[in-house]
Amino acid sequence: MSQDFQRSLPGYSGGSASSWYARIHVDPILLLLITGVVLFGLVILSSAVDGNDALLDAQIRRMGMAYAALIIAAQLPPAIYLRWAPFLYVVGLVLLILVLLVGVKVKGSQRWIDIPGLFRFQPSELMKIAVPMAVAWYLQQRVLPPSFKHTMFSLLIIGVPAFLIGVEPDLGTSILVTGAGVAVLLLAGLSWRWIFGAFALIAAAAPLLWQFVLKDYQRQRILTLFDPESDPLGAGWNIIQSTTAIGSGGVFGKGLYQGSQSYLDFLPEARTDFIVAVVGEELGFVGVAFLLTLYLLIIARGLFLASQAGSTFGRLVAGALVMTFFIYLFVNIAMVSGILPVVGVPLPLVSYGGTSAITLMAGFGIIMSMGTHKAW
């Protein structure tokens, strides 16, 4: 195993930090960038909800809880995450099984566990953090890059929850969980030979996956991707309306609260999965470019913090969480733009929703913990 090393952020001096953010292990640059995206998202959401202040107030409360999750996650030292990683993974698996047995079905998918009188939550969100932590926990005890045996066992750790989530069905989250786990393998130095081999295997198995694994509506989404006009009032409606909204915004957009596609209810799921189309229509290319710039700066800062982690486990976990955030972003933008099929992945920190935002912010807190804690 590679030797662990100690690094610290600029401005840190041993255990006697002179600034408030050093004492609470929060990276101010990353926090500022995240806040920029959150505020931008709340402004866009205020337009997407079309005057429904109750939804906007609910989102503000959820973001407050998300910030609390970030602060709490940043306080826990990396040694705690290392110790509890396997237990968190097992708890996540148990919850996924419970979802399939007693979960609440919403819009045809059984993804939620309902706590009567309290709240409803989505256990698959937990696995976006638990899976990369479990894979990193397993690999940090081994010689890197991982051998074939350790790679196969890591893929088993990834595959079991990904399969259970896919059965719900929730293809989007299954892709994100798989991506989070595979990111750990890539960061651990997995040979490109195995990566190309995996792609070749998937390509060879594509006909079987198409025939026996994908559901009818999933096959229809893929077919619609190539020719949305074949069913403009059905399966192709989402892609047609989202690309129309983005294209109609031009360079500078129609103006905030002036988007016709969302206000006239042509745009599906305007406040959740397709909210970037609202950005494109109302703020144009400039607005989308500004938002993407903030996202890229968050990714860059996250990777920097990952490089500052003081252990193999910390570097693998932090790096994988940053890559998961990137996959989130890429899949959503590509889906709304008509590059990928519609899979139900929200725009991170912008789309309406609580569980996803809290999970993302907790992930950023873990990244800060790995990058700002010194020796452990």
- Out of 34-38, 79-83, 166-170, 357-361, which region has the weakest mean confidence (pLDDT)? 166-170
When pLDDT is cut at 50, 70 and 90, the band that residue 375 belongs to is low
Across 34-46, average pLDDT: 94
* pLDDT, greater one: 17 or 24: 24
- Which of 96, 227, 89 shows the shortest CA–CA distance to 156? 89
CB-based burial of residue 141 (10 Å sphere; 0-12 exposed, 13-18 middle, 19+ buried)?
exposed
In this prediction, residue 15 carries a pLDDT of 40
Q: Dihedral through CA 211, CA 214, CA 215, CA 220, nearest 10?
A: -90
**Beta-ladder partners of 109:** 106
> For the chain, where are the alpha helices, taking DSSP H only?
20-23, 28-48, 53-75, 78-102, 123-139, 148-167, 171-187, 192-208, 216-226, 237-248, 260-263, 275-307, 312-336, 355-372
- Distance CA(129)–CA(215), nearest Å, equals 27
* pLDDT, greater one: 62 or 7: 62
When pLDDT is cut at 50, 70 and 90, the band that residue 286 belongs to is very high
In this prediction, residue 169 carries a pLDDT of 79
Q: What is the pLDDT of residues 318-337, one digit of tens each?
A: 999 999 999 989 999 998 88
Q: What is the pLDDT of residues 190-242, one digit of tens each?
A: 887 887 887 788 788 878 877 777 777 778 777 777 777 777 767 677 788 88
- Helices 28-48 and 53-75, packing angle to 10 deg: 160
In this prediction, residue 241 carries a pLDDT of 82
Q: How many residues are present in the chain?
A: 376
Among 21-30, 172-181, 268-277, 284-293, the range with the most confident prediction by mean pLDDT is: 284-293
Q: Is residue 35 a contact partner of residue 53, using CB atoms and an 8 Å limit?
A: no
Burial 288-298 (b: 16+ CB within 10 A, else e): beebeebbebb
- Out of 40-49, 236-245, 305-314, 363-372, which region has the weakest mean confidence (pLDDT)? 236-245
Across 12-36, average pLDDT: 75
* pLDDT, greater one: 249 or 13: 249
Q: Look at residue 20 and tell me whether its pLDDT is greater than 80.
A: no
- Out of 114-128, 194-208, 257-271, 288-302, which region has the weakest mean confidence (pLDDT)? 257-271
Domain boundaries, the chain: 42-372
- Distance CA(9)–CA(219), nearest Å, equals 48
| Predicted TM-score (pTM) of this structure | 0.87
- Give the Å distances, CA to CA, from 171 to 94, 111, 162, 257, 337: 19, 11, 9, 32, 18
Q: What is the pLDDT of residues 119-133, one digit of tens each?
A: 677 888 899 999 999
In this prediction, residue 128 carries a pLDDT of 93
Calculate Rg over the CA atoms of the chain: 21
- Which of 302, 282, 304 shows the shortest CA–CA distance to 294? 302
In this prediction, residue 13 carries a pLDDT of 39
Q: Look at residue 263 and tell me whether its pLDDT is greater than 70.
A: no
